Structure 1
Amino acid sequence: MDGPAHGVLTGMVTMGRTMVPAGEGRAVRVGAGRRVRVVDVEGGQVGDLFAFAADDPREHLSAAHTRSATSRLFPQVGESFVTDRRRPILTLAGDTSPGSHDMLIAACDPARYEGLGAPGHASCAGNLESALAGMGLSAAVVPQPVNVFMRIPVEASGRLRWLSAESRPGDAITFEAVMDCVVVLSACPQDLAGINGDGPTPMAMDVL
């Protein structure tokens, strides 16, 4: 995305359910201490999740810094995701899915689809940009997302495998905000690599 991150999250936090149509992205405001539940409505859908600090959106959830903090590929329930400034931003509060999630694979973007022979394809990077713009925000870079329900096992050789999501209809992963933040979810539009089974389907975010 072009330009520096700008804007400050203001106004009331989002409450209730926000539907995320298949292949699109949405953003919600989450106040410190509140929870946001990400729901795979129909099952088998990957979601790219991003989080930005409300008082300075240049600070964002960082997968790399989180792995350093937890010494895990993905936090366990009760552990935190941290920002690029090493501050906790979300805590993993619950998970009713089989538990396959990823923090290694970058968000799909226009260049990815051009390489797959599908120029102009919708992407999670584009969805992030649009969702932030709807709140008057932007970001200088697309952070590494938290890829909920994404199944990327690491083989003993170090090779990664790309498998279809195994989440079931209604499966959910719940995060608690440690600071006031904006959370963006992209119902990943990837329909060429098989990660979303037969194709993208809707997701939902419930701010509790």
Structure 2
Amino acid sequence: MSRPSPEHRPPPDADERRAVRPVVCYPVDALAPPDLDSYRAARLGWERVAAVTVPPRDARSFTVPAGCFFRIVSVEGPQVGDLNLWSADDLGERFFSGKTRALHGTHVTTGHRLWSSLPFLRPLATITDDTLDWYGFDEDGGGVHDVIGTRCDPYTHRLLTGGTYHHCCHSNLTRALAAQTGLPPAQAKRHVHDVLNVFMCTGFTRDTHQYFMKASPVRPGDYLEFFAEVDLLGALSACPGGDCSAEHSSDVARCYPLLIEVYRPKAPPAGWVSPARNSYAAPDA
């Protein structure tokens, strides 16, 4: 359903109201930028200590100790992935896509951080390399690695189509988290949250401002690399939409596996300290 036509006439000062200049809600000038040179120097001589293959239309969990790196790698064909992250010590602290979007914009790339939920609000991971950073934003307004979408789920699929599909990213992530933690699926699914859509190319249509997807530019060998700021538990779903050029929540698209690689550096980045939880204290705490 597109945006309905207005039912009310514009006021005399409509053009003046629309001409008001926007103000960035959360200016980040006060945030210290990550020292990418230090992070990258720490990669020299690193050792790959784990590798997890995520099968098509499925998900797998993984862990990354604080001070280590991990990569999500395209290995066989164009495939997008839905990423969830939690503090390994507390599932209540998880990736906060909305605040990450508010701080860094609709799509993330090298130098951006993935922030955790309230009341913790600290960096869980820092993006240290992105082989798709060349893409930028295309003429449709599309970009790669978005934090504007949710994750495909069976509930929305049922709402819009009346159908049943068990390999939506929400379901895949639920099963992966349940397998990792031993939680019953009914409890695990409550910890699954809005994702980083890795490799996915998305934006908003210019006329109705609806969320769209288009074929991902990812190719085998491309990767998105992160530095774990805290001990992490992650789960990644290889989306049933494949490269998301047509549809998801079905078995129609051609899908490929994704690879997660974990690397341990010989020493942490110079001067690096794992970030503490947010220091705000509520007056009634």
Please indicate, yes or no, whether the TM-score normalized by the shorter chain is above 0.5: yes
- The alpha carbon displacement at 1:118 in A equals 3.9
Residue aligning to 1:3: none
Q: Larger helix proportion, structure 1 or 2?
A: 2
1:195/1:92 CA distance change after superposition, 3 Å: farther
**1:60-112 deviation line (CA, Å, top 9, x unaligned):** 00110112233x11233122110112111010111112551111111111123
Counterparts of 1:128 and 1:142, CA distance in 2: 7
From 170, 186, 191, the equivalent of 2:221 is 170
Q: In the superposition, relative to structure 1, how do residues 195 and 147 fare at CA in structure 2: closer, same or farther (>3 Å)?
A: farther
1:194 equivalent in alignment to 2:246:
yes
Q: Is the 8 A contact 1:29 1:182 kept in 2?
A: yes
Query: Contact 1:43 / 1:170 at 8 angstroms: preserved in 2?
Result: no
Paired AA for residue 175 in structure 1: F
1:10 aligns with none
Partner-residue secondary structure (3-state), 1:135: helix
SS of the counterpart of 1:36?
A: strand
Change (3 A) 1:31 1:139: farther
Distance 1:135 1:161, change over 3 A: closer
Structure 1 gap segments, 5+ residues each: 1-13
Aligned to 2:124: 89
Whether 2:56 is the aligned partner of 1:22: answer: yes
Q: Is 2:190 the counterpart of 1:140?
A: yes
What is the CA distance between 1:51 and its match in structure 2?
0.2
Which position in structure 2 is the counterpart of 1:149? 199
1:41 maps to: 75
Count the aligned residue pairs: 194
Offset of 1:127 from its aligned partner? 1.1
Q: Deviations over 1:152-194 (max 9, x none)?
A: 1234443333211110112110111110010110001136872
Q: 2:148 maps to which residue? A: 104
Aligned sequence identity (%): 31
Contact kept, 8 Å, 1:46 with 1:147, in 2: the verdict is yes
User: What is the 5 A alignment of 1:60-75?
Assistant: 60-70=94-104, 72-75=105-108
TM-score (normalised: structure 1): 0.84
Q: Relative contact order: is structure 1 or structure 2 higher (C-alpha 8 Å, sep ≥ 6)? A: 1
The structure that has the greater radius of gyration is 2
Consecutive aligned runs of 4 or more in structure 1 exceeding 4 Å deviation: 195-198
- The one-letter amino acid of 2:197's match is N
> Cα deviation per residue 1:110-156 (whole Å; 9 max; x = unaligned)?
12333335413311111111111122153524311000111112344
- RMSD over aligned Cα, in angstroms? 2.2
Shift of 1:23: 0.5
